[in-house]
Amino acid sequence: MPVVVKLTPKKEVTVEGGKTAEKIFEELGLGKDIIAAKLNGKLIDLTDIILEGTLEPVSIHSKDGIEILRHSAAHLLAHAVSELYPDAKPTIGPPVEDPPGFYYDIEMPPISSDDLKKIEEKMREISNRNYKIEKMVLKKEELLQMFRDNPFKSELIKEEVEDGGKSTAYKQGNYVEFCTGPHVPSTGYIKAFKLLNVSTAFWRGKEDNPKLIRIYGTAFPTKEELEQYLNMVEEAKKRDHRKIGAELDLFIMRPEYGPAFPIYTPKGAIIRNELIDYMRELNAKAGYEEVWTPHAFRTTLWEKSGHMSHYRENMFLMELENEEYGMKPMNCPGHILIFQRKAWSYREMPARYSEFGTVYRYERSGVTNGLLRVRSLTQDDGHAFVRIDQIDQEVGKLIDMIQEVYYKTFGIKELRFKLSTRDENNREKYAGSDEVWAVATTKLKEVLESRGLAYEIKEGEAAFYGPKIDVDVRDAIGRYWQLSTIQLDFFMPDENHFDLKYVDENNQYHHPVMIHRAIYGTLDRFMGIIIEHFAGAFPLWLSPVQVRILTVGENAVPYANQVFGKLKGEGIRVDLDTSTNTISKKIRNAHDEKIPYVLILGEKEVSQNKVSVRDRKMRQKNLVNIEEFIGKVKEEISTRALEISFCETK
RNA sequence: GCCACCGUAGCUCAGUCGGCAGAGCGGCUGACUUGUAAUCAGCAGGUCGGGAGUUCAAUUCUCCCCGGUGGCUCCA
């Protein structure tokens, strides 16, 4: 029977079937980098016999090929562990796309980083033995017999293989894996790999299940690619906001007095305040009225809002004069009190309140992280109280706002939109009627789709009070963090909670829907993300010091003072370095501090009443008029330009 | 909270197989008065995260605690 072999998307040949994919490719003269095949679009092993269909070679350099390589590398890891620790019980070990690599969860005694080296050596040894990786097709009973000593694999076989059905296992040397494959042809294909770290995980992610050792590693088709990746990781570590935050003196932590309570220094506070000013402008444009609410309330409020029953473990609570108080973990109940102060007409909806509200959440000790996960956090919070027919328009405006902020103003392109819906099998966990959920979820979906945004649906991740759209952004080392959020809430406005109302044109009362939203998410996490995004080289409007004046020789000092005063008078954040350091040293310091522009003032500038401008990208424009420079700088600041461009030569 | 690793000067890090604690940068002082990515010299700076134990002697070994990092879990 004929097999159509697609050599490239355009080039096809037809060959006779009935032999292995490997044989077919070999006869067509394909190289050794072919490690698997695709039959009618499905990945298979080279050793599979092909009868008919469309067959494509899968190169180790392709996306599929690399995934197979990493999957096989995970097996190699489990194989090595099994040789070194005969009692170890491998569970699952998948490839991971982001960050690129793989892991394997194994039940075994805890290991150290020295052990990791040993395991890696053993992997190399097994790779060099170049075992053939052989596929075995086995009946369910045979598989259960084969893995009878491994309760994890047995559980998987019971679940995944039908009674009376068959599945596959792969054998390399004495090591056998229950796995559907495909895999590289032999262990010798896995050459460029490295084990990265060890942690723990729970079987199937449940805290009460057995604890497993998770070993992370990565693998690439070539040693060069592996090296390149490891270098990239090293480079990324230099952008870590904790490192840059200390170097540029933006914030400090004093864990002995307040673990995960960030303290913002003068320079960091400038960035925070610039971020606030910008968002304040956007909020005002979007119809939000800024409010302010206290940092603590009696727990009577938190009981009414449901926080005492749903969020108590994360709250800072205190008792005073026999009354219990709680630091606010969220701003919404405060905003609800503001909404409740008067009667509302349908004509006045939506009502919108915003607040840069600092909230306090007791996060478990192992989860905090620099500015990215803290216990005191300031949200660019806002609540819109809307009629149900206004949901889509309101959400649409927020999506536009998110896009403007991230794409345009900050140049952050890699956003991950998530639509979190309720778990349809557990409806009782959620508040509100089926109809309302259906309408709200559909509306959110439509808003995303009408804007052509790719999004992931996260079933079961909705808040109990309503579905939501979240936006995640990556940090320097590739972890995703949630920043923006748009949450629909039918719960707090209802009659069992705050019983919020507006009256319609027929004099009927309705509950408004609450939209909880934050664009940055929190100033803290957002600052962490942009520090890494810009690697500390902020756009001019955000830079704590926008211009530094450097003098060459003491004769230039009076003139430098004059220029300094002029820039300061224009509202530019400027400082002055008249130290006796060499000009080289002053430039180096400014560069290390990522100061956008430096003015170099020496004899020439003094005598001609000009300035020489050098930017942090080492571009320079000599002897220009001060006014010209000031004009351009002010323009870059007021337009919140992403790039510094004064020294650009066209 | 769980597991592994880590904690030495403001920062980056060396060091002690148990015997008076080191460097570079930064800071201070002085000299130099400088033209595009580190001028030279001197000085100061440490309860070696905290507590307990073993020891003639602990920064080093043991235990407990605190904190950090990476994961896991959690994340209204």
How would you classify the pairing of strands A611-615 and A597-601? antiparallel
> Which member of A122, A194, A375, A383 is catalytic?
A383
Catalytic residue among A75, A89, A332, A573: A332
- Which pLDDT score is estimated for A269? 96
Asked whether the predicted pLDDT for residue A231 surpasses 90, the reply is no
pLDDT band of residue A49 (cuts 50, 70, 90) is: confident
Residue A365 CA to nucleotide B7 C1', Å?
17
For residue A223, the one-letter residue type is: K
Mean pLDDT, residues A440-445 = 90
Nucleotide whose C1' lies closest to the alpha carbon of residue A256: B67
Q: How far apart are CA A84 and CA A109, in angstroms?
A: 12
- pLDDT score recorded for residue A261: 94
Decide if A647 is catalytic.
no
pLDDT score at A290: 97
Q: What is the mean pLDDT of residues A549-567?
A: 95
Q: How far, in Å, is the CA of A578 from the C1' of nucleotide B41?
A: 22
Pairwise pLDDT comparison (A155 vs A326), residue with the higher score = A326
User: What confidence score (pLDDT) does residue A277 get?
Assistant: 97
What whole-number distance in Å separates Cα of residue A50 and Cα of residue A21? 6
CATH of domain A285-530: 3.30.930.10
Nearest to A515 by CA among A402, A333, A388, A385: A385
Query: Half-sphere exposure of residue A208, counting CA atoms within 13 Å on the CB side?
Result: 0
Contact between A473 and A415 under an 8 Å Cβ cutoff? The reply is yes
Please give the CATH number for the structural domain made up of A64-238: 3.30.980.10
Residue with minimal CA–C1' distance to B37 is A588
Tokens linked to A127: 């790779």
A381, A392, A475, A577: the active-site residue: A381
Q: State whether the Cα torsion A420-A424-A427-A429 is positive or negative.
A: negative
Helix (H) or strand (E) holding A397: helix A391-403
Single out the catalytic residue among A71, A122, A375, A379: A379
What is the average pLDDT across A376-392? 95
DSSP 8-state class, residue A186? B
CATH number for the domain running over A2-59 = 3.10.20.30
CB A633 within 8 A of CB A597: yes
Alpha-carbon distance of A605 to A613, in angstroms, equals 11
From the alpha carbon of A487, which nucleotide's C1' atom is closest?
Answer: B76
Whether the complex's predicted ipTM is more than 0.95 is answered with no
- Is A361 an annotated catalytic residue? yes
Nearest to A31 by CA among A192, A171, A221: A221
**Angstrom distance (rounded) from CA A93 to CA A4:** 34
Tens of pLDDT, residues A198-219? 787 888 877 677 788 888 889 9
The answer to whether A381 is a known catalytic residue is yes
Pick the catalytic residue from A516, A525, A533, A616. A516
pLDDT 10s digits, A483-516: 999 999 988 998 889 999 999 999 999 999 999 9
pTM: 0.88
- Token match 């690439």: residue? A220
Q: Can you give the distance from the CA of residue A582 to the C1' of nucleotide B40 in angstroms? A: 12
Taking C1' of B50 and every protein CA, the nearest residue is A256
Over its C-alpha atoms, chain A yields an Rg (Å, rounded) of 31
How far is A265 from A262, CA to CA, in rounded Å?
10
Residues 6+ apart with CB under 8 A from A341: none
Strand ranges, E, within A513-586: 513-522, 547-551, 574-577
pLDDT in tens, A308-342: 988 888 999 999 999 999 999 999 999 999 999 99
Residue nearest to nucleotide B2 (CA to C1'): A200
For chain A, what is the mean pLDDT?
A: 90
Q: Where are the domains of chain A?
A: 2-59, 64-238, 285-530, 547-638
DSSP state of A46: T
d(CA A318, CA A328): 12
CATH 1.10.10.10 is the classification of domain A547-638: no
Backbone angles phi, psi at A618, to 5 degrees: 70, 25
Mean pLDDT of A11-21: 79
Does the annotation mark A504 as catalytic?
no
For residue A113, pLDDT over 70 is answered with no
d(CA A151, CA A535): 47
Residue A301 (CA) to nucleotide B71 (C1'), in angstroms, measures: 37
Amino acid present at A97: E
Nucleotide nearest to A616 (CA to C1'): B37
Q: pLDDT tens, A584-642?
A: 999 999 999 999 999 999 999 999 999 999 999 999 999 999 999 999 999 999 999 99
Residue A467: cis peptide before it, omega within 30 degrees of 0? no
Q: Which helix (H) or strand (E) covers residue A24, if one does?
A: helix A21-27
A179 is catalytic: no
State the Cα–Cα distance between residues A258 and A255, nearest whole angstrom: 5
> Of the residues A70, A443, A468, A594, which is catalytic?
A468
Predicted local confidence at residue A332, as pLDDT: 95
Q: Which nucleotide is nearest to A464 (CA to C1')?
A: B76
Question: What is the enclosing helix (H) or strand (E) of A351?
Answer: strand A351-360
- Length A254 CA → B8 C1' (Å): 19
Report the b/e string of A466-504 with b at 16+ CB within 10 A: bbbbbbbbbbbeeeebebbbbbbbbbbbeeebbebbbee
Nearest nucleic acid nucleotide to A468, CA to C1' distance: B76
* pLDDT above 90: percentage of residues in chain A: 55
pLDDT, mean of residues A90-104:
86
Query: % helix / strand / coil in chain A, to the nearest 5?
Result: 40, 30, 35
* Span CA (A114) to C1' (B51), Å: 30
Q: Is A645's pLDDT higher than 80?
A: yes
Q: CA A588, C1' B71: Å apart?
A: 38
Tell me which nucleotides of strand B come within 7 A of a protein CB.
Answer: 1-5, 11-12, 31-39, 66-76
Residue A650 — pLDDT band, cuts 50, 70, 90? low
Phi-psi region of A391 (alpha: psi -120 to 50; beta: other; left: phi over 0): alpha
Q: Residue type for A434, please?
A: D
Question: Nearest nt (C1') to A105 (CA)?
Answer: B72
Rounded mean pLDDT, A180-208: 83
Query: Which residue is nearest to the C1' sugar atom of B36, using CA?
Result: A584
pLDDT at A214: 87
